[in-house]
Amino acid sequence: MKIEKITGLIAAPFTPMHPDGEVNVQVIEKYHGLLTSNGVVGAFINGSTGEGVSTTTREKLMVAETWARVTTGGSIKVINHLGGTCYKDCIELAKESKRMGLHAVALTSPSYFKPANVKMLAEFFSKVAESVPEMPVYYYHIPVLTGGFFNMIDFVREVAPRVPNFAGIKYTHEDFMDFLSCLNFEDGRFDMLWGRDENFLSALILGARGAVGSTYNYAAPLYHKLIEAFDRNDQAGARAFQQKSIDMITLLGKYGGIATGKAYMRFIGLDCGEFRLPVRNMSSSDYQAFVKDVRSLGMDDLFSKI
């Protein structure tokens, strides 16, 4: 299979929720419009940001069906994250993703019964990929959450000869040596998508041209300016934009972590509700303090516009 590499920003959308905690797919059409109008080229749905580990198979299918419908004929490429604990569930979701006409699927390392080595991880991956032989399949490398601390260059060497539809890796880790080795494998054969927004500039320097991130939902203009500065060799400008990204992401930690991303979405005008348990959501008073901190960043022109 010829791999179509994705250049640009791929957002990892939040899964919108009603106040009672049920999935709110009605928001997704407006969400799609937000990403399109802000120059985002893809959507990595049902991932970490999309609470894929906290939603049921039925809910993941609802989310995927809605994204498939709203993106038909548009420019957004949808990659559906399948999970990674039960390969049977992954196969079911992969086949449904293919039926829906989504661009690609992705899966992580099993995180409870963990693979003993790279060969076992490749076997797990292969079993899912072979169920959709004409669809690109990405590996989602996020070892801090899965515990799959394998060198990805070893994984690439294992799957490259045996999985024709292996597309590449969403690389959410800080091992730049390993990332570069994967990027250079067989003259850049695979699509290596960077997954750490706070050090995107470092990945650009190594040669990355596509990235998947949660902050691209609400701050795409910031990263477009970072890329533009890098491409015109304005190193000081690129570093300054990366620092703004770091300052913005620092507030995620200050206000409780991943759920703060939905607070950013509320701030720009697209209310996606709250995260499901066990993730902690901020209180009303915390949100007011958060808004003050966001305004103090001086980034009003760098947030995504509704």
> Is 76 inside a domain boundary?
yes
Q: Residue 282 CB: number of other CB atoms within 10 A? A: 17
Q: What is the number of helices (H) and of strands (E) in the chain?
A: 12, 8
- Return the half-sphere exposure (C-beta side, CA atoms, 13 A cut-off) of residue 118: 13
> Is 3 inside a domain boundary?
no
- Is 171 considered catalytic here? no
Q: How far is CA 251 from the centre of its chain?
A: 19
> Is 256 inside a domain boundary?
yes
- Rounded Cα distance between 137 and 167, Å, is 5
Share of the chain above pLDDT 90, in %: 98
pTM: predicted TM-score of the whole model, two decimal places: 0.97
> Is 275 inside a domain boundary?
yes
- Rounded Cα distance between 55 and 52, Å, is 5
- Rounded Cα distance between 11 and 169, Å, is 15
> Is 88 inside a domain boundary?
yes
- Return the half-sphere exposure (C-beta side, CA atoms, 13 A cut-off) of residue 227: 17
> Is 2 inside a domain boundary?
no
pLDDT higher than 90, residue 1: no
Q: Residue 265 CB: number of other CB atoms within 10 A? A: 23
Query: Of the listed 170, 225, 244, 262, which one is catalytic?
Result: 170
- Is 170 considered catalytic here? yes
Which run of H or E residues covers position 212?
strand 210-213
Of 229, 169, 167, the closest CA to residue 194 belongs to: 169
- Number of domains forming the structure of the chain: 1
Mean pLDDT, the chain, integer? 97
Residue given tokens 């190594």 in the structure block: 206
| Residue range 164-201, pLDDT digits in tens | 999 999 999 999 999 999 999 999 999 999 999 999 99
Residues contacting residue 3 through CB under 8 Å, at least 6 positions apart: 136, 167, 168, 189, 190, 191
**Residue 277: left (phi > 0), alpha (psi -120 to 50), or beta?**
beta
Tokens of 152: 């990805």
CA 122-180-187 angle, to 5 degrees, is 80
Q: In CATH, what number is assigned to the domain containing residue 164?
A: 3.20.20.70
Q: At what angle do helices 284-296 and 260-268 cross, to 10 degrees?
A: 70
pLDDT higher than 90, residue 52: yes
> Is 58 inside a domain boundary?
yes
Q: Which structural domain, as residue segments, surrounds residue 65?
A: 8-302
| Residue range 96-117, pLDDT digits in tens | 999 999 999 999 999 999 999 9
Of 300, 156, 106, 292, the closest CA to residue 218 belongs to: 300
- Rounded Cα distance between 153 and 160, Å, is 10
> Is 54 inside a domain boundary?
yes
| Residue range 238-290, pLDDT digits in tens | 999 999 999 999 999 999 999 999 999 999 999 999 999 999 999 999 999 99
pLDDT higher than 90, residue 142: yes
CB 222 within 8 A of CB 229: no
- Rounded Cα distance between 289 and 272, Å, is 19
Residue given tokens 């010829």 in the structure block: 2
Distances in Å between the alpha carbon of 254 and those of 250, 273, 300?
6, 20, 20
Q: What is the DSSP code string of 38-97?
A: TT--EEEETSTTTTGGGS-HHHHHHHHHHHHHHHTTSSPEEEEE--SS-HHHHHHHHHHH
Query: Of the listed 139, 140, 218, 255, which one is catalytic?
Result: 140
Residue 107, SS3? strand
